[in-house]
Amino acid sequence: MDVQDVTTAVRDLNRMARDVGGIGVWRGVAEGGPYVLAVPRPRFEEVFYALRARGMGGLTEPPTLAAGSECAGISIELGAPR
């Protein structure tokens, strides 16, 4: 996801995660690793469509989620616009 300010983007994603009872974790901050948004399964589609509305590419239809877990995650690569 291209963003103007990575710090602001992470803050917004953290807020989005908290609002639905999930968490957000930025893996490998120093290496530019992905931000992982983990949310309760019943809220996954809501978050999926909210991310798509904010311009996150590659999100056409929600994926089929594997059975057995109470949460689902989306891995997001944050970067500057080109």
Token pair 């311009």 in the structure block, residue: 55
DSSP classification of residue 59: -
What is the model's pLDDT at position 10?
85
List residues bridging with 75 in a β-sheet.
Answer: 36
What is the model's pLDDT at position 27?
75
CA 71, CA 11: separation in Å to the nearest integer?
21
Strands 35-40 and 23-26: antiparallel
More confident residue, 31 or 38: 38
Would you place residue 17 in the very low, low, confident or very high pLDDT band (cuts 50, 70, 90)? very high
What is the model's pLDDT at position 39?
93
What is the model's pLDDT at position 56?
81
Mean pLDDT of 31-45: 86
